[in-house]
Structure 1
Amino acid sequence: MKLTDAYFPYSFPAELADCVCCPRECHADRTAGPGGYCKSDAFPGVSSICLHRGEEPVIGGEQGICNVFFGRCNLQCIYCQNWQISSRNEAIQIEYQRIDSIVHAISKLLDEGCRAVGFVSPSHMVPQMLAIINALNDSGRKPVIVYNSNGYDRVETLKMLEGIVDVYLPDLKYMDSRLAHEYSDTGNYVSVARKALKEMFRQKGTALITDDAGQALSGLIIRHLVLPGNIENSMNVLRFIAEELSPGIHISLMSQYFPMPAVAGHPLLGRALTELEYKLVAEEMEALGLFKGWIQEAGSSGSYLPDFCFDHPFEKY
């Protein structure tokens, strides 16, 4: 029996009956219930909508960004900081199964001063994301749209987003296929992410356009989280950006890795990043001529850690 769309103000997107939204290309019929690698159905599957003042000051500005966190994920990183919502269906909020409820929650934050809406972990939820954006536009709202993904995106899907997404904010995790397989259950991450980042770069180039308050209006910012014991991977990520994209791209180099309970006994991931490890990667970034962007203070481990048990996961930060 098909899922009813009685609580969905729009018909279920037809492509979800044979889903190839992300590079997994599972061909699952998500209109019949949870399926595919992400175990998601055709509903929006939103876990949290909240104000966030994040890692890059240009994203959201002083007012913050309205972040829409989707539940589940097309990667299953063993060290995931958002593990509460990335691998547990029960984390999906019932009230956020309706597009109108989602738009209401977003609109409330926009009314309080937010000018941007960020969609977090959207790669497996692009049709639902587009339905939310369309509903916002229909209500007369046109916020800056930020696409905050893990970099494991399908090029054909990204091409659908040209002219809709204002700011791409991907995390480029690996340039080592072995690590991608071991840490994120994704053996083809490197080849897929290279193509995805090149498509984002084709759409946005190096220019990061901001308003008078310094808030991003359009552009591409690449995030990279440095993992303990894996600095060569980080250096190769930076080399790819500098050599195959452009040294003019804005980089957010993050030192905020925090060992989650799932990796407590891991020989590398079971500890925090050292100051020396991060320093070596930051020096490579400078040596490659990657001067645009942001680096974090040493000892930021845990400083940006959300707790999705609360309505405002980042409020204490």
Structure 2
Amino acid sequence: MTLCTLCPHECRVERPVIDGAAGTYGYCRMPWQPKAARAALHLWEEPCISGTSGGSGTVFFSGCTLQCVFCQNSEISCGGKGWPVTAEGLRQVYQNLITQGAHNINLVTPSHFLPTILESLEPKLPVPVVYNCGGYEKVETLQQLEGKVQIYLPDLKYVNEEAALHYSHAKDYFAIATKAILEMYRQTGPYQLDQETGLLKKGVIIRHMILPGQTKDSKRIIDWVADHFGPGEVLFSLMRQYVPCSKAASGQYPEIASPLSDEEYQEVEDYLFQSPVEDGFVQEASSADSQFIPLFDGTGIKGM
């Protein structure tokens, strides 16, 4: 009997091997066998991930250990949409994406499927592996990925415990996520870019998406990054792409039911530019558009 403790929720349930089998679903609402909803070249990540031609070979897994009320991928993170895939199938998915020209293999919210993920990454792939997650990760889980992941792409969503609890059901988010990010950096060390292509070879990109009404918290995020990393160590991505999705678009959370205002974004961007944080990215206003949400129709997954 295997009781699941992969994520900070530590549900300690015996998850079903596959959907419909005997067992108990935990917080992620997923069986042990991975489910994924899309595997395709993705051009809308940070420039050093997507590049200018091939794109990032992105695999969107179903389920999530946070299930944020504003999630743009709620159809798969909370709704459970997806198709089952084995370790062998995932390996074929990676190879297909590489053949199509993917600069890297980008695993989106994969932690609750860790045993199969680890198996799928052997032997080492010829391109970097990107671990794209919400930041709410156990250090012990991340340690199992050492040497298998070259690039970590975590969110750092909140400092404020009340906001973390209200919007992501994780009051301890900041304490957990910051420890996780420090472990990610321990594994990769300072980021390295390919001097010819500008593509990221290894390192950590910390993402932060500003929420409406939460500019003070965003500034505290910037302060934490500045206090813990120096120039040349990590990249910081300030995101203005918030649009109301999932429960945030239904009226249940009226304070975040509208897009981020230009004034709020400008306030945080100015704070970032005045901070010691030097390396990273900001987004154009046009990024706040639902057209950038991928179509979760089984592309690249069905039949694997």
TM-score of the superposition, structure 2-length normalised? Answer: 0.89
Task: Indicate if the aligned counterparts of 1:206 and 1:219 stay in contact, CA closer than 8 A.
Answer: yes
Partner SS, residue 38 of structure 1: coil
Which has the higher mean CA deviation after the structures are superposed, 55-64 or 184-193? 55-64
Task: Indicate if the aligned counterparts of 2:191 and 2:200 stay in contact, CA closer than 8 A.
Answer: no
Separation (CA, whole Å) in 1 of partners of 2:126 and 2:13: 32
Q: Name the residue aligned to 2:235.
A: 250
Residue 294 in 1 paired to residue 281 in 2? yes
Name the aligned partner's letter for residue 257 of structure 1: Y
Q: Name the residue aligned to 2:63.
A: 72
> Cα 1:98–1:202, aligned 2, differ >3 Å: closer, same or farther?
closer
Once the two structures are superposed, the pairs formed by residues 115-264 of structure 1 within 5 Å of their partners are: 115-134=103-122, 137=123, 141-210=125-194, 212-248=196-232, 249-264=234-249
| Shift of residue 127, structure 1, vs aligned partner | 1.6
Residue 103 in 1 paired to residue 91 in 2? yes
Which has the higher mean CA deviation after the structures are superposed, 220-229 or 55-64? 55-64
TM-score of the superposition, structure 1-length normalised? Answer: 0.86
Task: Indicate if the aligned counterparts of 1:259 and 1:272 stay in contact, CA closer than 8 A.
Answer: yes
Task: Indicate if the aligned counterparts of 1:175 and 1:190 stay in contact, CA closer than 8 A.
Answer: yes
Partner SS, residue 257 of structure 1: coil
> Cα 1:211–1:41, aligned 2, differ >3 Å: closer, same or farther?
farther
Separation (CA, whole Å) in 2 of partners of 1:149 and 1:253: 16
Partner SS, residue 49 of structure 1: strand
| Shift of residue 105, structure 1, vs aligned partner | 2.5
Identity over aligned residues, as a percent? 36
Separation (CA, whole Å) in 2 of partners of 1:39 and 1:151: 18
| Shift of residue 206, structure 1, vs aligned partner | 3.1
Separation (CA, whole Å) in 2 of partners of 1:123 and 1:285: 30
Task: Indicate if the aligned counterparts of 1:33 and 1:40 stay in contact, CA closer than 8 A.
Answer: no
Separation (CA, whole Å) in 2 of partners of 1:239 and 1:102: 38
> Cα 1:36–1:274, aligned 2, differ >3 Å: closer, same or farther?
same
Q: Give the root-mean-square deviation of aligned CA atoms.
A: 1.9
Separation (CA, whole Å) in 2 of partners of 1:230 and 1:247: 26
Separation (CA, whole Å) in 1 of partners of 2:47 and 2:75: 25
Task: Indicate if the aligned counterparts of 2:226 and 2:276 stay in contact, CA closer than 8 A.
Answer: yes
Aligned residues: 290
Deviations 1:44-85 (CA, angstroms, capped at 9, x unpaired): 222221110123110032211111111010001000000010
Task: Indicate if the aligned counterparts of 1:252 and 1:294 stay in contact, CA closer than 8 A.
Answer: yes
Structure 2 segments unaligned to the other structure (5+ residues): none
Structure 1 segments unaligned to the other structure (5+ residues): 1-13, 313-317
Task: Indicate if the aligned counterparts of 2:37 and 2:298 stay in contact, CA closer than 8 A.
Answer: no
Residue 53 in 1 paired to residue 38 in 2? no
| Shift of residue 310, structure 1, vs aligned partner | 6.8
Once the two structures are superposed, the pairs formed by residues 258-277 of structure 1 within 5 Å of their partners are: 258-264=243-249, 265=251, 266-277=253-264
Separation (CA, whole Å) in 2 of partners of 1:109 and 1:65: 9
Task: Indicate if the aligned counterparts of 2:71 and 2:246 stay in contact, CA closer than 8 A.
Answer: no
Name the aligned partner's letter for residue 308 of structure 1: F
Separation (CA, whole Å) in 1 of partners of 2:276 and 2:180: 22
Deviations 1:146-185 (CA, angstroms, capped at 9, x unpaired): 0001000001111121211100110111111110000001
Q: Of the two structures, which has the highest relative contact order with CA contacts closer than 8 Å and spacing of 6 or more?
A: 2
Name the aligned partner's letter for residue 197 of structure 1: I
Which has the higher mean CA deviation after the structures are superposed, 148-157 or 207-216? 207-216
Task: Indicate if the aligned counterparts of 2:38 and 2:297 stay in contact, CA closer than 8 A.
Answer: no
| Shift of residue 34, structure 1, vs aligned partner | 5.1
Within the candidate set 76, 89, 99, 1:85 is matched to: 76
